[in-house]
Structure 1
């Protein structure tokens, strides 16, 4: 049964347009669940839809609103946040291109200042559009952290146990009498024992991460060899439509493209690991761009 995406009204088969708002009806509830992102002319919306599609947003759909006499771009709720940020980048880059075309009609110095401001705004938008997530920590670094913590806990626990035994044996010049002696001994003994157990567990974890670090090192070497053989700066730039002029925006688009190329050949890579790896190899291909 057809539905109105705006009024949420259901119609009988054969009806094409909502009688209340004039919107084109959609054929399923899934299509109706898409949310409106932005209004505009057909040319503007088709250009934005193409830009979003190139950046991995596949749920975009154009619908004509007869009431407003405009086209509206719809996306799924899951992709609306990313689509909104990419829409901002698209608009900044569009404004930048328009201002560059107008240089011949305005004062050169004034236009240069305006272009610099626009490029700064585009860079800020690109940084905001980058997917947020936890900072990746290499397995070798985790192993080192666990090992350091293990030695600290074991040292504190063992030294504490020795001092406690000396205290209870009367070797230290501190006198504890009656129930105080046993209460102190029990509490401190349990505390130092916990230190020792935690130290042993941390040491065990460090050895596990050392093994994982060797696997990561081998994987990184394999990834580097593949990138050296299959990725070039020219190929990356050629595969990105409408490569922006702002350096920060270029960096974001390039790294996203490199991650996609690697993911097509190496499945199930951890997102944080892949992002960290691409950041490492980026200067190898674009080191002369000032990034």
Structure 2
């Protein structure tokens, strides 16, 4: 699963909420028009059954839109907290985890002493070391947030080596 930030979730919920509220409102207006005018000259039972089912569907759209807008407000608050944590991790990593430090200490915890030459192995070893250091410094941070951060930080520190 790919990490999705709270800001992205908030944006998705906002656009979904607006769209659902709009469709629900327009659908209810159309449903009421259909119920009153009966433009297709449907028999009475079919008209009420169709309008009842469609009306329930459009009310459901409207309610789901309101719930999505409420979720938008919740995710907007979480996004601000997430940005603060992200900034703290960025600042700490820029001070503590320079390329030389990572390359020097990434073998400390392992029994593997030979230097890695394969770029892929080197990437995984470096990111593993960065993750361990971040998790040690920032204890209660979401693992997916850390993984997302590491991808960008690795490219920033080591460039397009990989």
TM-score computed with the length of structure 1 as normaliser: 0.51
Residue 101 (structure 2) aligned to one of 217, 235, 243:
235
Conserved 8 A contact 1:136-1:272? yes
Where in structure 2 are the equivalents of 1:126-145 lying within 5 Å? Answer: 134-145=1-12
State the match for 2:62 in structure 1. 196
State the match for 1:282 in structure 2. 154
Residue 257 (structure 1) aligned to one of 110, 120, 129:
129
Report the structure, 1 or 2, having the larger helix content. 2
Q: How much does 1:261 deviate?
A: 0.6
Larger Rg: 1 or 2?
Answer: 1
Matched, 1:167 2:51: no
Q: In the aligned structure 2, how far is the partner of 1:175 from the partner of 1:211?
A: 51
Q: In the aligned structure 2, how far is the partner of 1:175 from the partner of 1:206?
A: 42
Q: Once superposed, what is the RMSD of the aligned Cα atoms?
A: 1.4
Q: How much does 1:177 deviate?
A: 2.8
Q: In the aligned structure 2, how far is the partner of 1:268 from the partner of 1:225?
A: 17
Higher RCO, Cα 8 Å, sep 6+: 2
Matched, 1:270 2:153: no
Residue 215 (structure 1) aligned to one of 64, 71, 81:
81
Q: How much does 1:174 deviate?
A: 2.7
Conserved 8 A contact 1:237-1:243? no
Gapped runs of 5+ residues in structure 2? 108-113
CA 1:182 to 1:135, structure 2 compared with 1: closer, same or farther past 3 Å? same
TM-score computed with the length of structure 2 as normaliser: 0.90
Q: In the aligned structure 2, how far is the partner of 1:175 from the partner of 1:207?
A: 45
CA 1:243 to 1:209, structure 2 compared with 1: closer, same or farther past 3 Å? farther
